[in-house]
Amino acid sequence: MTSAPATASLTPFTPTVVLEFVLLAAIWGASFMFMRQAAVEFGALPTAALRVTVAALCLLPIMLARGQWLELKKHWRPVFVCGVLNSAVPFACFSFALLHITTGLSAILNATVPLFGALVAWTWLKEPPGRSRMIGLMIGFGGVAMLAWDKASFKPAASGVASGWAVLACLLATLSYAVAASYTKKFLTGVPALTLATGSQIGAALGLALPALWYRPAVMPSLTAWGSLLALGALCTGVAYVLYFRLIEHLGPARALTVTFTIPVFALLYGATLLGEAVTPWMLLCGGVVICGTILSTGLVKLRV
């Protein structure tokens, strides 16, 4: 969640733009699978720390090539704070959650980011939603409640951690994304998106360094885990940010944001076909309710009320 530069004119959904849109959704949908595979051997905190470190190493040369080092030097303090809120906390929470719940469930919960974003903007930035968006908030959080009621349990599980704590970790991650979005709007408006992305990954890496060292794995992870981690950092964070910035440039922030709604489709597909995870009709129903509520709460569709 980073701020985006305003665009004077937006391009239509050309075949190239559609391809980039679908590719970004597919990449971000795969991030849940890669996080799970890496976290099993690395642990939650080291997975999050190494992910942002790899991403920072991928983005830094691009930022330097575009001559944005002075921008980062000028705004490094709020940018680093944004990195903790926008990457360190959410990535650690999702890495923990994916050790105890499915990738599909995590992705559906991730779709609540715009819901929390509207709520935080209302309470912090004093941007009250209209009646249509308020109805969307109620519908969206109703979908979350339906999903949590079915999937979240605080009884001890085989993994030693109840699934309810994993669901709460996902919701804490999405809330942190939302706070980061309002923080960015309040303190970092006008800072180039690439500077924000790169600086935030550096800030997140610094914030996670000591906890990751403390909880480092006792046994060297396998090549499969290392491969998942590199894919997570380079592809799902580094390359994904570049694609996301291109979509913002061509479509504008509001239409680029709709990629969030397609991520669960790919995450559920990967989880079912590659990890053998069960996808229930109730999960699909609740996911549909969450997405409908999110579309209304973001103002992409308005009800005549």
Q: Is the pLDDT of residue 104 over 80?
A: yes
172-187 tens-digit pLDDT: 999 998 898 889 888 9
Mean pLDDT over residues 5-27, rounded?
A: 73
Task: For CA atoms 244, 249, 253, 258, give the dihedral sign.
Answer: negative
Q: Is the pLDDT of residue 150 over 70?
A: no
Model confidence at 190, pLDDT cuts 50, 70, 90, reads confident
Count the domains in the chain. 1
Quote the longest CA-to-CA distance of the chain: 59
Does residue 305 fall inside a structural domain?
no
Token duo for residue 115? 């819901």
Segment 191-227, tens digit of pLDDT: 888 898 899 999 999 999 999 999 999 999 999 999 9
State residue 16's pLDDT score.
82
Q: What is the DSSP letter of 19?
A: H
Tokens matching residue 207: 């914030």
Range of the domain at 178: 15-297
Mean pLDDT score of the chain: 85
Residue 61's Cβ-count burial label (10 Å; 0-12, 13-18, 19+) is exposed
279 assigned to some structural domain: yes
| 156 burial type by CB count under 10 A (0-12 exposed, 13-18 middle, 19+ buried) | exposed
What would the pLDDT profile of 110-138 be if each residue is shown by its tens digit?
888 888 888 888 889 888 878 887 888 88
Distance CA(130)–CA(153), nearest Å, equals 34
Predicted confidence at residue 255, as pLDDT, reads 67
Model's pTM, two decimal places? Answer: 0.85
Report the distance separating Cα 113 and Cα 177, nearest Å. 7
Q: How far apart are the first and last CA of the chain?
A: 31
Asked whether residue 2 is assigned to any structural domain, the reply reads no
Can you give the pLDDT at residue 170?
94
- Interval 3-20 mean pLDDT: 64
- pLDDT tens profile 159-174: 667 788 999 999 999 9
Q: What percent of the chain has pLDDT over 90?
A: 41
Task: Flag whether 212 is in a domain.
Answer: yes
Is it the case that residue 53 has pLDDT exceeding 60?
yes
Band the pLDDT of 303: cuts 50, 70, 90: confident
The residue with tokens 């941007």 is 127
Rg of the chain over CA atoms, in angstroms? 18
301 contact partners, CB below 8 Å, separation of at least 6: 295
Token representation of residue 303:
């009800």
Mean pLDDT throughout 256-261? Answer: 72
Q: Please report the pLDDT score of residue 6 as a whole number.
A: 43
Residue 301's alpha-carbon distances to 114, 239, 251, 276, 298, in angstroms, are 14, 30, 17, 35, 8
Please report which confidence band the pLDDT of residue 154 belongs to, taking 50, 70 and 90 as the band edges: low
Is residue 155 left, alpha or beta, with left meaning phi > 0 and alpha meaning psi from -120 to 50? beta
d(CA 109, CA 245): 24
245-283 b/e with 16+ CB inside 10 Å = b?
A: bbbbebbbeebbbbbbbbbbbbbbebbeeeeebeeeeeb
Distance (Å, rounded) from C-alpha 137 to C-alpha 295? 9
- Residue showing tokens 């109805």: 135
